[in-house]
Structures are given as structure tokens and as C-alpha cells.
Structure 1
Amino acid sequence: MTKYHYIRVSTAEQHTERQEVKTPEGYVQIIDKVSGRSTKRPELTNMLVNLSVGDEVLVDDISRLARSLKDLNELLHQITSKGVTVTFAKENLTFTGDKSNPTNELLLNLIGAMYQFEVDIKKERQREGIEIAKAKGVYKGRSTSMRQKADVIALLNDGVPQRKIAEQIGISLSSVQRIVKKHKEEAA
């Protein structure tokens, strides 16, 4: 039987110490530095593959496991269907896959829905803020990194079409065109 402490922060720049110090003795730390919106979390995926009957997973907070109610329910089912116990420390909820505690199921769905609602409200506020900033002419969007600019110019010099450059680097065609235009202006 293995005991896991699943720890997640949204970006590589954020720190995990606040969660790490809560790891009980005898637990293996599983640390992901990826957004909760992403289902591509390498350490979580690895843990899911290695889970077996009798294992335990400790998560500090429901929002550390998933941001959407759908993902939360799917992950919880995936884990508990293997005979693994999941405990959310902050919410003081434990799930075993046994449906004999409908109160826990209700609380999980309520808390999960509240987290999802919070994320949706933040997105709405961000969208409103961007619209206001655009109307004032102060919103410029996310700036292209120096690395991306260098990659665009290198690929352009290799004769790669602009549309292919955008696909390869993962930026919009208009960003590639803007970089190319600025590069030509600087070269002139």
C-alpha cells in the first residue's frame, strides 16, 4: 500500500512549499507545476497509472486536483474505482468509491461547482477588463517572447512559409506577420 500526497501549483514560477510542508510522514510527494485546467499533468498521469488497491491519495484542496466539476468527478471516479481512497484535507472529505455516504457526494459536487463558478467569474471579469482596455486603446495582448521572435526569423531565413512558422511555434499568423514586418523595418 502506497500513500501519495498530490501537490499542484498552476505555473512553474509558483512555489509548492506551502503544500509540501503538509505532507505527512510516509507519504510520497507527487508534484505537478501545471494549470488545473489542463488534463495533461505528467506527474498525476504517472500516479494514476501506478495506483493499486489499498493506496491512499491525499490532496490539500479540491482545487488542486481539478478546476472543473466534470474533471473533478472523472478523476475521483478514476482513482476510487481502483480501490484507492482519496482525502481532501481542507474540506475534510474522504472518498473510497463506496456510495454509502451521499452527504460527501453532495459536498463534493457543491464545492466543485463553487470552484468552477469562481473560475468562470474570473474569466468573465478578465474578458470585460480586456474589452475596456481595448476600447481605451491600451490593451496590446500578450507580447511575443524574444525566443519566439528569434525562432520566427530563423525559420523565415530557412524559407519556411509564415503560416507554417505560426503552426510550428504555436503563435498566431498575425504575430508572425508583425515580427516579420518589424524585422524588415529594422533591417532597412
Structure 2
Amino acid sequence: MAQHGQTVGYVRVSTADQNLARQLESIGEVDRLFQDKVSGGSRSARQGLADCLAYLRDGDVLRVASMDRLARSLVDLQQIVDEVLAKGASVHFVKENQTYSAATTDSLSRLMLQVLCAFAEFERNLIRERQAEGIRIAKAAGKYRGRDKALTPAQVDEARTLIANGTPKTIVATRFGVNRSTLYRALSEQ
């Protein structure tokens, strides 16, 4: 008799100010939920995904709203799905209405996973291209100013003074609530 596990949900948005409600509605009721509010570009920053993969057990079903919420590239998606299947769990993508499990994964289902992910990756690339084109047009029209600087000129001056007096740059960056790379960039710009 097959072991019946839990239904585990994973949701992700790219920024903290985005809303998870649509994905939560899509995946429905789950026994355990993991979430990330970070870009899908890097797995290392996705603690919710790491915790989810560590939590999954034999017989569990991982439910995700869509493939692009789990991964941004075909390679990454395949690796994550393989990790889920290796644990004896399955993964269900609600939007694509696709389920992958060790028992049912064959060459055809693997191809379907690759094709659907390739379309999702292609769609993401088109969005990036349109965004870059829109920014280029807005810059040419003088309507795009970019995002605000993380440090004001007064803060950069204060940072310079602190560094000149021997305060380590790591401490200065922490004091102003920015990364060291942001501090270095601000110091080199002015």
C-alpha cells in the first residue's frame, strides 16, 4: 500500500511588497506552507525553498502555483524537481496542471516538463526585453530617473569621515543599513 504523506505548499514573490494571495488561492489548502519573498534568480537566497526541500518526505506532494514560481531556468527547475522526486515526494504545478512523481515520470513527462519550463523561461526573457526597451525609451524622453540613491550626499560625506577616522567599512555600511558594495559604489560616485 502506498504511503500517504502531507500536502506541502511553496509560494514565491520577487519582492517584499508583492502579494502572495493569488498563489495561495491557487494552491489551496495545504498541511505545511513555505514561502519566499525574493527573486528566483538565486537559490542561495531562497531560505523558504531550502526549508521546503529539507522538509519533504516520502509520499508528500509539493504543490506550486506555477513552474516559474519554483525556478527561473530549465536547469534549476529540473534540479529542484529531481530533488523532490529523490525524496519519494511528487510535485504538482497547478497552473500547468502537471504532476511529476518518481512512479509516473517517464521520457514523455520529462519532455513535457522541459517544454513547459522552456516556454516559461522564454516568457521571462521577453518581459525583460520589453522592460529594457521601455526604460531606454523613457530615458531618451527624459522621463526615467532610475531608483533613488541608497545614501544621500550627506551620508556619503559622513561615511568618508568615519572611514578616514579608522572605522571599518563593514561597520559604516551596517550603520547606514546598506551592503558594503552599495557603500563602495556610493564612495566611488562622488
TM-score after normalising by structure 1: 0.77
Where do residues 122-161 of structure 1 align in structure 2 (5 Å cutoff)?
122-145=127-150, 148-149=151-152, 152-159=156-163
Q: Report the AA paired with residue 15 of structure 2.
A: T
Q: Which residue of structure 2 aligns with residue 169 of structure 1?
A: 180
Q: Which residue of structure 2 aligns with residue 88 of structure 1?
A: 93
CA–CA distance in structure 2, aligned partners of residues 136 and 31 of structure 1: 39
Q: Quick check: 1:51–1:84 contact (8 Å CA) kept in 2?
A: yes
CA–CA distance in structure 1, aligned partners of residues 10 and 87 of structure 2: 17
CA–CA distance in structure 2, aligned partners of residues 16 and 58 of structure 1: 14
Q: Which residue of structure 1 aligns with residue 53 of structure 2?
A: 48
Q: Report the AA paired with residue 68 of structure 1.
A: S
CA–CA distance in structure 2, aligned partners of residues 10 and 174 of structure 1: 24
Distance 1:168 1:63, change over 3 A: closer
- Is 1:13 the counterpart of 2:53 in the alignment? no
CA–CA distance in structure 1, aligned partners of residues 14 and 105 of structure 2: 34
CA–CA distance in structure 2, aligned partners of residues 156 and 19 of structure 1: 45
Distance 1:177 1:100, change over 3 A: closer
Q: Once superposed, what is the RMSD of the aligned Cα atoms? A: 2.8
Q: Which residue of structure 2 aligns with residue 34 of structure 1?
A: 38
Q: Quick check: 1:23–1:29 contact (8 Å CA) kept in 2?
A: no
Give the gaps of 5 or more residues in structure 2: none
- Percent identity, please: 35
CA–CA distance in structure 1, aligned partners of residues 34 and 41 of structure 2: 18
Q: Which residue of structure 2 aligns with residue 71 of structure 1?
A: 76
Q: Report the AA paired with residue 160 of structure 2.
A: L
Distance 1:99 1:15, change over 3 A: same
Distance 1:136 1:48, change over 3 A: same
Cα deviation for residue 135 of structure 1 reads 4.3
Cα deviation for residue 57 of structure 1 reads 0.5
Report the 3-state secondary structure (helix = DSSP H, G, I; strand = E; otherwise coil) of the residue aligned with 1:8: strand
Cα deviation for residue 114 of structure 1 reads 0.9
Task: Give the paired residue count.
Answer: 175
Q: Structure 1 stretch 23-32 or stretch 165-174: which is displaced more?
A: 165-174
Cα deviation for residue 168 of structure 1 reads 4.4
Note the alpha carbon deviations across 1:45-93, whole angstroms, 9 max, x for none.
1111222222210111111111211111111111111111111111111
Cα deviation for residue 112 of structure 1 reads 0.6
TM-score after normalising by structure 2: 0.76
Q: Structure 1 stretch 165-174 or stretch 92-101: which is displaced more?
A: 165-174
Cα deviation for residue 25 of structure 1 reads 3.9
